[in-house]
Amino acid sequence: MSQRMQGGVPMIVMDEEAQRMKDRDAQEHNISAARAVAESVRSTLGPKGMDKMLVDSMGDVTITNDGVTILQEMDIDNPTAEMIIEVAETQEDEAGDGTTTAVAIAGELLGNAQELLDQDIHPSAIIKGFHMASEEARQQVDEVAIEVDPGDEEILRKVAETSMTGKGADVNKEFLADLIVEGVRRVTVEDNVDLEFLKIETQTGRSAEQSELLQGAVIDKDPNHEEMPTDVEDARVLLIDEPIEVEEANVDTEVAVSDPQQIRQFVDKEEREIKEKVRKIKGSGANVVFCQKGIDDLAQHYFAREGILAVRRFKKSDLEFLTEVLGARIVSDLDGLTEDDLGRGSVRRDEDEQLFYVEGADEDAHGVTLLLRGSTDHVVDELERGVSDALDVVASTIADGRVLPGGGAIEVELASRLRNYADGISGREQMAVQQFADALELVPRVLAENAGLDSIDTLVDLRAAHEDGDARAGLNVFSGDVVDTFDAGVVEPAHSKRQALASATEAANLVLKIDDIIAAGDLGDEDEEPGGPGGMGGMGGMGGMGGMGGAM
């Protein structure tokens, strides 16, 4: 396919094989593809949501409940479906939590839009109505939001616990919430949270309640030589991003040797070079060396002899984190090395002899590490996803200072307020605003459904409570009762909900705007069932869904 201009009008020239779908067909095709993706994560929503096991093409297994992880691992190759995945990714970047909610709402918006299209309502009226509703809903979030004191650790712990409920982190959520809140507090200066200074490290082999929060960094590495010290109380640490080896040029040089004497000389020269490097390091006063690249055997030997602890092959990001922890500079060139480049602190080995704990001595040294432990890799990975969501929501609550009642309470309240708002709007947009309101109620419906409760009864009860003016009435998924979820400690940051509303609407509208699909290849689904709820049928064309690996 190519584009040409003819008399100022763009003209699309199609390949012979190209396929084209227009108007209603195009919309239906896209809506069903997008909905299918949204459907695929619905069953994971909420504390009682199920996990998914994803198997990638290499046979690696991920077991998770995390919306964005599921969608990314699914490796979907369909342009419309990808728009929905972007919703999850935007939500993850901007809020850190609420990815399943955002995607589920986007899917439901499109489902409801389909109903309007079936009634011959023009997409542009739907788009306009959705846009109005989204703006209004976000304004109403501001009205309903409960202001909290960012220093109120009780509420922060509740926000963290809500986000971990039903995840791998659930079992130890109270214990972990304490670590999370304390960790965030340590990287907060005057309500400015900098999560860059809080690093998560994971370690398998012990249970989650043996996780710990440590001042400084944790390094999962071994010393380079068994005769090196492993505990250095008064550490002066060199961080270096160049190898401590013979200069590369020399290694690759072919040397034509005619007699053993020449080999000897050559080796001597290399030895001198290494010795010289170690001498410079020693001369600066360093007694610990953390190197991003390699350290060759001879250098290791000299370091050990000098009583210097040397560790090699650090990740660049770890070295950068250590500059904060130790107040050090990363050195590339040993020639200019001085004592000022070194960081000060202490290095100690853990009981299991697997990790180094590095703590800074400087007053203004910062950086803390949350060391998460779990029995196996799968457990630790899912723990990490849960904890990192919780860190984000705590940080976001401190920054924004506003929370909302969870368990579907906010969604039902917004839906009710949107219906009032719709009463004041005329025409087709009114119907779109009403459909938008209905779409928000997907959240309590699915929370109930996933908990094995009757979703219609639940919604009826919730609506009644909100009619009576109880704006915080939500679902207790464990008892099935309607409760004041704020009082029950089920709280979410307002920022995250605003973001979910914005990105879900944007994606739905993006999909609705398309009235023409021109595909270079086969569009596929001529004689297939359209992808209704739960079905992937409509996704056959335009690349289809590649690489699902039979995982779902």
**478 vs 521 by CB, closer to ligand ADP:** 478
Binding partner selected for residue 69 from ligand ADP, Mg ion, none, CB under the kind-specific 5 to 8 Å limit: none
Catalytic: 100? yes
99 is catalytic: yes
Q: How many CB atoms lie within 10 A of CB 399?
A: 15
Residue of 39, 73, 94, 97 interacting with Mg ion (CB under 5 A): 97
Q: Which residue is nearest to Mg ion (CB)?
A: 97
Q: Which of 44, 64, 80, 100 is catalytic?
A: 100
Give the integer Cα–Cα distance in Å for 157 and 283.
Answer: 49
In Å, the largest CA–CA distance within the chain is 99
Q: Taking CB positions, which residue lies at the least distance from ligand ADP?
A: 406
Site for Mg ion contains 492 (CB under 5 A): no
DSSP characters over 227-289: TS-S-EEEEEEEEE-S-BSS-HHHHH-----SSHHHHHHHHHHHHHHHHHHHHHHHHHT-SEE
Which residues in 319-358 contact ligand ADP (CB under 6 A)? none
Residue 369 per-residue DSSP state: E
Minimum distance from residue 389 beta carbon to Mg ion (Å): 5
Site string for ligand ADP, 427-456 (x = CB under 6 A): ----------------x---x---------
Q: Token pair of 119, please? A: 């009634």
Among the listed ranges 97-105, 148-156, 236-244, 471-479, the one in contact with Mg ion (CB under 5 A) is: 97-105
- How far is residue 496's CA from residue 498's CA, in Å, rounded to a whole number? 6
d(CA 347, CA 25): 65
DSSP string, 22-84: EHHHHHHHHHHHHHHHHHHHHTT-STTPPPEEEE-TT--EEEE--HHHHHHHHT---HHHHHH
Tell me if 493 contacts ligand ADP by CB under 6 A.
Answer: no
Name the amino acid, one letter, at 215. Answer: Q
Backbone angles phi, psi at 510, to 5 degrees: -60, -45
Q: Which of residues 64-93 bind ligand ADP (CB under 6 A)?
A: 67
Q: Is position 415 an interface residue for ligand ADP (rule: CB under 6 A)? A: no
Catalytic residue among 44, 62, 99, 485: 99
Among 40, 101, 140, 505, binds ligand ADP (CB under 6 A): 101
Please report whether residue 129 would count as binding ligand ADP according to CB under 6 A.
Answer: no
- CA-CA distance, 183 to 218, in Å (whole number)? 14
Residue 218 interface partner, choices ligand ADP, Mg ion, none, CB cut-off 5-8 Å depending on type: none
Question: Is 338 one of the catalytic residues?
Answer: no
Q: How far is the CB of 347 from ligand ADP (least distance, A)?
A: 38
Tell me the window of 15-23, 77-85, 94-102, 460-468 that interacts with ligand ADP (CB under 6 A): 94-102
Q: How many residues bind ligand ADP (CB under 6 A)?
A: 22
C-alpha radius of gyration, the chain, whole number: 29
- Which is closer to ligand ADP, CB of 493 or CB of 541? 493
Task: Tell me which stretch binds ligand ADP (CB under 6 A): 186-194, 471-479, 506-514, 520-528.
Answer: 471-479
| Interface with ligand ADP (CB under 6 A), residue from 232, 395, 433, 475 | 475
Cβ-based burial of 98 (10 A; exposed 0-12, middle 13-18, buried ≥19): buried
Q: Which residues contact 154 (CB under 8 A, 6 or more apart)?
A: none
Compare residues 49 and 216 and give the one whose CB is closer to ligand ADP.
49
Window contacting ligand ADP (CB under 6 A); options: 269-277, 340-348, 470-478, 540-548: 470-478
Shortest Å, Cβ 426 to ligand ADP: 33
List helix spans (H) across 285-376: 297-305, 316-326
Q: 141-180: which residues touch ligand ADP (CB under 6 A)?
A: 162, 165
What DSSP line would sit under 451-496, residue for residue?
A: TT--HHHHHHHHHHHHHTT-TTEEE-TTT--EEETTTTT-EEEHHH
- Pick the closer one to ligand ADP by CB: 100 or 203: 100
Asked if 46 touches ligand ADP (CB under 6 A), the answer is yes
Cβ nearer to Mg ion, comparing 97 with 108: 97
Residues forming the site for Mg ion (CB under 5 A): 97
Residues forming the site for ligand ADP (CB under 6 A): 44-47, 49, 67, 97-101, 162, 165, 406-407, 443, 447, 475-477, 490, 492
